[in-house]
Amino acid sequence: MNDAPLIACHECDLLQRETVLPGGGTARCTRCGAELYRNRPDSLNRSLALTLAAIVLFGIANAFPIVGLSVNGDIVQTTLFGSVRILYRDGMWPLAGLVLFTTLLMPLLQLVTIAYLLLPLRLGRPPQRPDVAFRFLQWAGSWGMTEVLILGVLVALVKLAHIAGVVPGIALWAFGALMLLLAAISAAFDPREFWERIATLTSGATPRAYAPHVSAAAHTAARAGLFTCHDCGLLSKAAPHAHDARCPRCGAELHFRKPESLARTWAFLVAAIILYIPANTLPMMDTSSLFGAQKDTILSGVVYLWTSGSWPLAVVVFIASIAVPMLKILALIFLVVSAQARSGWQPTQRTRIYRVVEFVGRWSMLDIYVVTLLVALVQFNALATIHAGPAAIAFGAVVVLTMFAAMSFDPRLIWDAAEKNRG
């Protein structure tokens, strides 16, 4: 009889037994192909070392100018926080808040939280309230967008090169290295090993993986009466007639299915569709110079990059800022409608669509970061100035709303119709 711990797929809810993996190996769901867990050798020590290095780089990246613009011997430089401050000064406080949140606060929270969790473990004792800190870590990882910022900086540099001499700052290289370290931390940190270490240090006080013997008919967590924690991955037994609970390990809210998933997804989608129109028709930037005033939309910015010879970046901006938001909205509408109709058509393919939608959503922030840097640097008063247009706020709202829509949708609903047909 197999007594290996059970694990449930977060995307299709299928119950499976854990297995021992080789170093660097990955376990995937046998039904939908989603990644279940990995074997990350020496995970916690590597994660801690990378995090401490990233904290140093984060300080450097925000203490020095990220880029400068040289005109007639005068150099205008800006830090990332300085760019946020200029947006706030110009009355674009929603945009300033969004940039501050995604490029400064969330990456910093992610790094500080990992250090808080792993430093005590390195010293042989558990951290205080690891459950709360772990949930903060999961939340921060979803909203930190350093990699998108770097791409936005590269696009901004191409546009700035046609205005004046570009002077890359120390922070630009620091942010590039920070991006690589954050990716390495994400690849190295193993939540399973973390919670196993906590359980060892607390003499088993922290709940371990659930290993019941379930009937063949109950091949999903919901049918077996088990809650799946989407933060720490723990399976826990539901009380009789209970539809929600708290994870006994990390304290996250537990549900058999996300409550009101389809209704909330529709609400976010409708709001995003409404704002998508002004985001693409109103000006993203207002440019004033000796030669007059010019208002640029997202599409005109793509055309400018293309005609100036930077066609690879034009393609990138078109995909990230125009194609991705539109396709993401259409894909989510398709997923919601098919789930409401309880369609059993190609659940594996629909799950893959959801996976892609969830992954690409953040890359639409590209244009927001481009505008942020251009507004901060092109401030030559009588010569030329750039201000963020109303489309920037609308577009930022579209990105956030579509991300909320993807987070609200429960991919396990895709498989419920297949379960019903099976049953």
For 88-134, how does the pLDDT look when each residue is reduced to its tens digit (9 = 90+)? 998 899 999 999 999 999 999 999 999 999 999 999 899 999 999 99
- Residues in the chain where the model's pLDDT stays below 50: 1, 215-216, 290, 382
Which uninterrupted H or E stretch holds 268? Answer: helix 261-281
For residue 155, the SS3 value is: helix
pLDDT of 406 reads 93
User: Using CB atoms within 10 A of its CB, is residue 291 exposed (0-12), middle (13-18) or buried (19+)?
Assistant: exposed
Cα angle for residues 324, 329, 332 (degrees, 5° grid): 120
Distance CA 238, CA 321 (A): 43
Full-model pTM: 0.89
Neighbours of 97 (CB within 10 A): 15
Q: Give Cα separations from 115 to 125, 179, 184 (angstroms).
A: 14, 17, 15
What pLDDT score was predicted for residue 1?
Answer: 47
Give the Cβ contact number of residue 139 at 10 Å. 15
Instruction: Give pLDDT, residue 216.
Output: 44
Pairing of strands 74-78, 67-71: antiparallel
| b/e per residue 170-198 (b: at least 16 CB within 10 A) | ebbebbbebbebbebbeebbbbbbbbebb
Residue of 61, 95, 141 lying closest to 370 (CA atoms): 95
Asked whether 104 and 67 are in contact (CB, 8 A), the reply is no
Token readout for 15 is 């119950």
128 token code pair = 């205080």
3-state secondary structure of 416: helix
